Amino acid sequence: MGFKEGMVAVGGTGGDPAGRKGFAVPPLILVAALYAGGCAAGYFVSVAAGVAFLGSLFTILLAVIGYFYARNRNHPLIYALFFFLGVVGVRLAVAEAVTPLTAWSDHYAVVRGTVVAAPEVRQGEARYLLRVAEARIGEKRFSGGRLLLVVRGAEKVFGYGDLLTAKGFLRAPRAPGNPGEFDYARYLERRGVGVLLYARAEAVTRTGRGSLNPVVGAALWLRERLFAAMDALFPPEQSALVKGIAFGARTALDPLVNEAFRETGVVHILSVSGLHVGLVLGFVLGIARSIRLRSGATLLVSLLVLIFYDLMVGAGPPVVRATVMAVLFLWAKHLGRERDWPTALAVAALIILLANPLAVGDPGFQLSFAATWGILFLGPVMVNLIEGCGARLQRKVPPALAWGVAVPLGAQLGTLPLVALYYGLVSPVAVLANILAVPLTGFILLCGVLAAVFGLFYLPLGEIMAAPTGLLLDLFTGLIRFFDRLPGAFFYLPALPWGIVPLWYGLLYLAVLRLSGRPARAAVPGRSGFGPFLARAAVLGLVVVAWLGLFRWVGGMTPGLRVDFLDVGQGDSALVRTPGGGVILIDAGGWPGELEGKRPDGAGMRVVRYLRRQGVRHIDVLVLTHPHEDHCGGARAVVERLPVRLVVVPPLPRGIAPPYDRLLDDFRARGIRVCTAKGGDRIRLDPAVEVAVLAPLPAGKLPAAPTLNDASLVLRLRYRERSVLFAADVEQEGQGRLLHSGVRLQSDVLKVPHHGSAHFLPAFYRAVCPEVAVISVGTPNRFGQPAPAALAILQRVGAKVYRTDQDGAVSLWTDGHNLKVHTARRFLRRAA
């Protein structure tokens, strides 16, 4: 059965030779859909595992009763049972990730455990997934569960099965600090991890070998040997790319290269999925055909090779989905049956979710199934349209060409809303980039792996094979960079409402029905009226969900002044958006080494991603309050990715901070105007908003040698009856000068100076007398910030304190009268 035949029956048995009307939905697909729906409900709705378990028991009881008294009308109860089982599975998986160690965050611990997965190595840091044998915290002892061991300064890398003893501090993963940010805590939860252990390299020792799966060990051993051969055969950049293409290992890949892949819509090439499984399977089938291997033997060999490959790449949801479908299709061919892709897709989903119900929340799981559905469901319709267009132009379109366009287009249409939601990105060049890049991927995969295999036995032989591979890699990266630099190649979207997802897929489904001329029909045995009811309920639910999402989205676009204090760790960054559409970014955070360009994916990229999610396409004014790295280190990443019209800095002599001077020189080389500001100046951007510079004071009033902190730019923003004071890092001396200068300090909102340090004047806080105080600070930090004394004085003046280390990003909105505060980790509050 070809793809064109498989299109006509959504979930049917494949072809439709009898010309049946409608799209039949067999019970297995409904079971998979309802089980996945239960997993999603349990994932996103906090329901106790015991409650869900009792609900499933009650449903089982009803199903048993229904089996004896109403057998032909019992199907809805069976489907409901699978929904409840999905909820139970997720809640039990969430509970399993929480170990006794989770409650001991920020405590020193000694842990002994076995490495149960391939280590992740990046930038001098190694991460190991440990199965805990014993953990000691003081006199207390614990055992069982998993944790992630993070080893900093690692030179020696341990492997799968090693028994390690590590000493360090426990940290519970935190929810994302900024809206739309990658949720690392959820990611670890899906791996059964609820706590991390941070240790130095000298505090980790190997004490032996644990007893683990020998097949997994062999697969990971071979992977490490191939990685070592690739490192010996290719330059570091090319070696990282070959590892990414062949095995999905992206930790060593340059963040800028990874970003280019994402922006051009070909990042799936670096995530092992159907493309890679298809290439591996094609290689195996080619060899089997050349040696005339029988069908049964071919099926067995293919299964063993694919399972071994899955183990080598980590057996993530995309590769497991592709492997299950490939094996089912081969099995169908062996038995002489039609290939039923909807049922194969449902079986793959059930296998993955039964093994790990939390996988339903994995973007890779969702994108993999969405792309496959797009190719197999939309592809045949698009092929017909392409061939029809050719016929109207009196030109015959070769089927291979039609499918060459339909496959990437179907995948893009199938994943479009999910990519927009997760990454805020749309790439118009993705289809063309995939058409040209995917064939190259096959050659790189084949040549790169063969070069590594030859290099294992004889390095010069591997070098012969590596030479053409290097040329292909250069061509491949050049192609990606070409598409990435095209005008309009990609554009970032503001955060979209979640209701857009069901709306998009509903429209695609209806479009296919319209183009194929078939009405929707759900076939459920023994209940002829249940199908139309289910279809109507689905359409109604789609409309309600989309309406609620759009309502929430529009409701968040109320005009007014908005100030967002971003979570950038130990640093400062605040985004100001005026009622007239003006954009001011005050500082851009910065992590150690970022100001000198050593951290390309540091705090600056965190700021950039937040700006893109908020729909910010340009920055009118970038204010760098002073040269310290935790305030200006991320500015380079911002300027490289968003147009900036003006940079405002304090009047400091050149040479006081050379990396900062080079940063400003780079801005000027880009044609960006850089100007200094001092007390008494104004930033005029929006006539409704006054931005006054309060400090540093004019040169004649400055002391002979002010510290960099006390030379910070201090801004007071006023919109009608409301005001915000951005105090940067001014300490006692700078605060004293402000108090004696006579400027108006009282403000409704205070960005607390210097992350709430102990170097402050109580009189300064009393003069400001804020209703809301925001402390931008990281956790953990070695400075003891915020200081208890600073928190106490803020409480005495009546301020409601928000901290980015606890609350995440803090967003303020005001219409000039009312003031609302919203945080990334807490619910909406009214400050007035």
Q: Is pLDDT of 777 > 50?
A: yes
Q: Is pLDDT of 521 > 80?
A: no
User: What is the average per-residue pLDDT within 110-127?
Assistant: 89
* pLDDT at residue 432, rounded to an integer: 93
User: In the Cβ-directed half-sphere of 287, how many Cα atoms lie within 13 Å?
Assistant: 11
Cβ atoms of residues 406 and 414 within 8 Å? no
| Confidence tier at 517 by pLDDT (50, 70, 90) | low
| Confidence tier at 304 by pLDDT (50, 70, 90) | very high
Q: Is pLDDT of 496 > 50?
A: yes
* pLDDT at residue 14, rounded to an integer: 41
* pLDDT at residue 20, rounded to an integer: 38
Is 590 strand, coil or helix? Answer: coil
| Confidence tier at 541 by pLDDT (50, 70, 90) | low
- For the entire predicted model, the pTM comes to 0.84
Stated as kind and residue range, the H or E segment containing 516 is helix 500-516
Stated as kind and residue range, the H or E segment containing 749 is strand 749-751
Those residues with Cβ within 8 angstroms of residue 725's Cβ, 6 or more apart along the chain or in another chain: 694, 714, 715, 716, 717, 745, 747, 749, 750, 751, 768, 770
Smallest CA-to-CA distance from 573 within 616, 611, 600 is with 611
Strand 146-152 relative to strand 722-726: parallel, antiparallel, unpaired? unpaired
Is the bond leading into 780 cis (omega within 30 degrees of zero)?
A: yes
* pLDDT at residue 63, rounded to an integer: 64
Smallest CA-to-CA distance from 428 within 487, 372, 370 is with 487
* pLDDT at residue 546, rounded to an integer: 56
d(CA 757, CA 753): 7
pLDDT digits (tens, 9 = 90+) for 595-639: 888 877 889 999 999 999 998 999 999 999 999 999 999 999 999
Is the bond leading into 696 cis (omega within 30 degrees of zero)?
A: yes
Average pLDDT score, the chain: 85
Q: Is pLDDT of 181 > 90?
A: no
pLDDT digits (tens, 9 = 90+) for 209-218: 877 889 999 9
Q: Which residue has the higher pLDDT, 28 or 640?
A: 640
E runs forming strands in 172-299: 196-200, 204-209
Cβ atoms of residues 374 and 411 within 8 Å? yes
Those residues with Cβ within 8 angstroms of residue 573's Cβ, 6 or more apart along the chain or in another chain: 565, 566, 585, 586, 587, 588, 589, 603, 607, 631, 634, 776
| Confidence tier at 19 by pLDDT (50, 70, 90) | very low
d(CA 165, CA 133): 10
